Each structure stands twice: as C-alpha cells, then as structure tokens.
Amino acid sequence: MGLTDTPRWLPCQYLYDAKGSALFEEITRQPEYYPTRTEAGILERHAADIRDATGPVSLIELGSGSSVKTSHLLSAYAKAGGPVTYVPVDVSAAALERARARIGRLHPTVRVDGIVGRYDEAFPRFRRHSPAMVLFLGSTIGNFNHGESVSFWQRVSRELAPGDYFLLGADLVKDVSVLEAAYNDAAGITAAFTLNVFARMNRELGAGIDLDRLEHVARYNEDWQRVEIFARFNSKQTVRIEPLDSAVEIAAGEMVMVEISRKFLLRDLTSHLATFGFAVRQVYTDDRRWFGLLLLQKEES
C-alpha cells in the first residue's frame, strides 16, 4: 500500500485487542499527543451548553474506549435532572468493562447499556433510543478513508431519526511538526501500538513475523491531509496466514500501512456533512483551533 486512498487491508478495529486498547490509553497520556487533552478541555468547557442545546437525550458513543472524556457530558446531563441512558459501543470488551466500573463510581445515576461490538452493530439501536445524541469522539472518523467515511455517514444518516443529534470530534489541519510529533512520541508508545498488530497476527494467524525487524514510521501526507502510519519491514519476510493456508512475501524496505489519521478543515467538513443531511448547530474549538467539536442535527428528509 502506498499513498493511495484504496481500501486498507486492515480494518481499524483489529488494532484494538486488549493490549492495543491499553496502549491507546497510554498514548493519550503522552505529552506530544495533544488531541485527547484538547478535546477534553473543549468538552469540559461546553458540556452544559451542549446539554442545553439538545435537551434530554440518550447518549450513544461509538468507539467509546475508556469513556473518560465522556464524563464531562455525563455530569452535565445528570445535573440537568431526569434519567440519563449511556450506550457505549466498542469492540474492546476490556475497555468497556473498565469504563462501566468507572462510570458506576462517578455517575451512579447514569444507566449504562453497553454494546461489545462494531459500530454497525449499534446502528439498528439508534431509533430505539431516540431522542438521542450519537457521540463519535477522539477524531476516530479520521481513521476512515474517504470511501469508508462516505459509507459511515450514509448509514448513520439513514438510521438516525430526524431531529436527533451527533457530536463529532475532529482533529484539524495544523503545523506538520505538531502532527508528526503526536504520532512519534519519545517514549515509543505509538510505535508499540503499531507493532502490536503484528504480534497479534503472529498469535492469531501463525504469521511468524520477526518483530525485531519492523520499524514504526508515521508521517504527514500533505496531499491527502492525513498522518499515515506504517510498519517498515527492514528485511525480507514471509508472512503466513495459517487459517487460509497462504502466505505473503514482504520485501526488505517495504512499508505496510497500518493506520491513517485524517486531519480536517472545518469548512470542508461542514459542507461534506451537509451532503448527508446533517446541519451544523454549533462548532466548539480550543484557543489554538487545533481540534473541533461539531454539534450536528439530522435534518428532516
């Protein structure tokens, strides 16, 4: 895979086994990794305004992970009175279990109805929870390539009832040095996250990859407006896929794309979302305009 927008060979959920989830939590605490801290600050400042704008709604969070940032919203919705239902959705059962325990301690009045599964498994539940607001934070939308993003918005738009809300966290285009530092932390946690997927392939597919000959590479592609994360194979290797009884030859120096993280311009993003029937009700951002939190509402079709 190179610098194209062709479908990636690795759906992003495969990065999040139990170890991948734990490593992601560690990434969010690295000094170079600004997105989590910045988005949390925006949520903390504006949670009450968001609650005032939407009124009482069920909160459905796609790819909820630790749900730590979501606490700001859960507090605001609980404070406003009335029952609050929170539906976290994540492929990582371990992350969901940790989140459930934490929310039980911090927000005892919130009813948690989690789903261990993929995003699309939660879509049919949207109407049942209406009036609702779907949360998609952490700029996880940036992990989808253009085609995946179009399918995602088409489906979400179809499944949400008119009038329901969507709160989207989007990392914005900024100085390349800031972007590249965020994905090349000095402690090497993002590198460990990248290599973990190959360790998983060894475990689950019998791939037989020599992990010591792999190197994490993350760089910003200005043309595609995205950080691209690769594993560079420093020697020729044969990657076996035992369940399919097949193998793939990887040449020395070949780069295998593991993940992308697209960065957005607010004006492009809002016009893109309008094509799927979403009106932007409010855009919240930080002083440096590094991260955007968009409150969207599904319009009548």
Which is closer to ligand SAM, CB of 9 or CB of 271?
9
Residues 176-212: b if buried by 16+ CB within 10 A, e if exposed: eeebebbbbbeeebbbbbbbbbbbbbeeeeebebeee
CA 295 – CA 175 distance, rounded (Å)? 25
CB of 178 to ligand SAM, least distance (A): 18
CA 60 – CA 117 distance, rounded (Å)? 13
- Report yes or no: 234 and 253 within 8 Å, Cβ to Cβ: yes
CB of 296 to ligand SAM, least distance (A): 17
Contact footprint for ligand SAM (CB under 6 A): 12-13, 16, 21, 24, 28, 36, 63-65, 69, 89-92, 95, 118-119, 137-138, 140
Side-chain-facing half-sphere of 170: CA atoms under 13 Å: 27
- Report yes or no: 120 and 62 within 8 Å, Cβ to Cβ: no
Please list the residues that pair with 225 across neighbouring strands.
Answer: none
CA 15 – CA 24 distance, rounded (Å)? 9
Which is closer to ligand SAM, CB of 24 or CB of 233?
24
CB of 271 to ligand SAM, least distance (A): 24
Which is closer to ligand SAM, CB of 114 or CB of 277?
114
What is the number of the residue whose Cβ is closest to ligand SAM? 138
- Report yes or no: 229 and 20 within 8 Å, Cβ to Cβ: no
CB of 16 to ligand SAM, least distance (A): 3
Which is closer to ligand SAM, CB of 107 or CB of 240?
107
CB of 299 to ligand SAM, least distance (A): 25
Task: Report the largest interatomic distance among the alpha carbons of the chain, rounded to a whole angstrom.
Answer: 61
In 138-211, which ranges are continuous DSSP H helix? 146-159, 176-182, 189-205
CB of 15 to ligand SAM, least distance (A): 7
Which is closer to ligand SAM, CB of 13 or CB of 270?
13
CB of 119 to ligand SAM, least distance (A): 4
CA 206 – CA 224 distance, rounded (Å)? 34
The amino acid at residue 223 is: D
Which is closer to ligand SAM, CB of 120 or CB of 215?
120
Which is closer to ligand SAM, CB of 37 or CB of 232?
37
Which is closer to ligand SAM, CB of 140 or CB of 237?
140
Give the helix/strand (H/E) hosting 214: strand 214-221
CB of 229 to ligand SAM, least distance (A): 12
